[in-house]
Amino acid sequence: MKFEKILFNTRFRDNAIGALEQMLDLTAVGLKEIILVYVIPREKVAFVPYGGYQKEKELEIKKKVAEKFEKWGAILAKKGVKSKIRIEVGTPNAVILSIAEKEKVNMIVAGRKKRTLLERVYVGTHLLDLARRSPIPILMDKYMAEYEIDGKILTRVNEHIFSHPMLATDWSCPSENALETLISLKGLASKIIVAHNIGVKITKAMSPAQFQEIKKESRKRLNEYRHRLVDAGLEAQTSLTSGRTVAEIINVSRKHNASMIVLGRTGKDWLSQYWLGGVSHRVAETSELPVLLIP
């Protein structure tokens, strides 16, 4: 898959322009056009209690957003990237998915806001809902992310996010797709880490011999992945761990100083999606790195 045309959705949070500029790295692998999208949530202009629709407010917002997007468009044009502006009123996820379909983009980029405790418990946020439903890759962008290590709050600025991506694979079909996507980043990614974690659930009921067998099989598969990347001309290294998958993926990403985590997005049932979240969703939620989810 090539990232020739991407949809960049923004709410103009801090550092949104920084996040956009990161996308320009993709010009090295064929990026030609960015669709700049701003969705005005319907509630912001409609349903004024006992009043009407605030058309003037809608136009005012659209004007301000268009001005900002035009400036962004000029920055993109300097780098040889075309841009198109889409400002619409509606339900954000529905509008984003609809524009992505109409414009036939290769990837959706959406920022993530800081979350409250309740929102962390309830994984089914709007952005994860978007990730769950998107038929194309979605990049959960985190240009500047706060995270916690040993009780300390740290801030990380994520730049050149495609330079050192880490693929966390579970050997699923979407993981295969993720591998193919990474291969298409040749010329941009300097090194790729391929990681696999043997989950606690699997190892719990295993004898040591069985565990060794699984490790052996996993190493073999990891090497196959690595060979495919190397054969495609990319530098790659592997990592095999066992333990709690989400925590291990994050640990490995930090250990190898990854610039981004790439995951295949596996389908889960409704309950898991909304109240528990799959591994991919929880990594996307917890990690301080941008997360690219590949369906």
Partner 1 sequence: MKIDRKIVFGLFLIALVIPTIVFGSDTESPTNHMNLGEILPLWSCIPFGFMLLSIALFPLLAPNFWHHHFGKISFFWAASFAIPGLVIFRGIALYEILHIIIIDYIPFIILLWSLYTVSGGILLRGTLVGTPVVNTCMLLIGTLLASWMGTTGAAMLMIRPFLRANSHRKNRTFMVVFFIFLIANIGGALTPLGDPPLFLGFLHGVPFFWTLNIAPHMVLAAGILLVCYFFMDSYHYRREKPSPINLNEKVPFGIEGKHNFLFIAAIVISVLISGIVDWGKISIFGVHTSVQDLVRNGLLLLIGTLSIVTTNITVYEENNFSWAPIIEVAYLFIGIFITMIPCLLILKAGGKGALAFFINSVHHPSQYFWSTGIFSGFLDNAPTYLTFLNTALGNFYSSLPEKQAISRLIAENPLYLEAISAGSVFFGACSYIGNAPNFMVRSIAEEAGTPMPSFFGYILKYTLLILIPVFVVVTFIFF
Binding site for partner 1 (CB under 8 A): 42-43, 46-55, 57, 89-91, 93-94, 113, 116, 118-119, 122, 124-126, 129, 133, 270
12 vs 47, which CB is nearer to partner 1?
Answer: 47
- C-beta of 47 vs 171, nearer to partner 1: 47
Cβ-based nearer residue to partner 1, 129 or 170:
129
Between 11 and 104, name the residue whose CB sits nearer to partner 1.
Answer: 11
The strand ranges marked E within the chain are 5-9, 33-41, 82-90, 107-111, 138-141, 144-149, 152-157, 165-168, 192-199, 236-243, 260-264, 291-294
Provide the minimum distance between the beta carbon of 166 and partner 1 in the complex, in angstroms, as a whole number.
Answer: 30
If the CB atoms of residues 74 and 94 are measured against partner 1, the closer one turns out to be 94
CB of 238 to partner 1, least distance (A): 38
Nearest C-alpha neighbor of 167 from the set 181, 188, 187? 181
Closest distance between partner 1 and the C-beta of residue 124, in Å? 8
CA distance 103 to 199: 39
- Rounded to an integer, what distance in angstroms lies between the CA atom of residue 107 and that of residue 277? 22
Nearer Cβ to partner 1, position 19 or 127? Answer: 127
What are the backbone dihedrals phi and psi of residue 153, each rounded to the nearest 5 degrees, phi first? Answer: -90, 120
Residue 294's alpha-carbon distances to 170, 217, 283, in angstroms, are: 13, 24, 13
Task: Provide, rounded to whole angstroms, the least separation between the CB of residue 96 and partner 1.
Answer: 11
Element (H, E) at 52: none
The CB-of-135 to partner 1 minimum distance in angstroms stands at: 13
**Strand positions, DSSP E, 150-247:** 152-157, 165-168, 192-199, 236-243
Burial (CB < 10 A; 0-12, 13-18, 19+), residue 270, is exposed
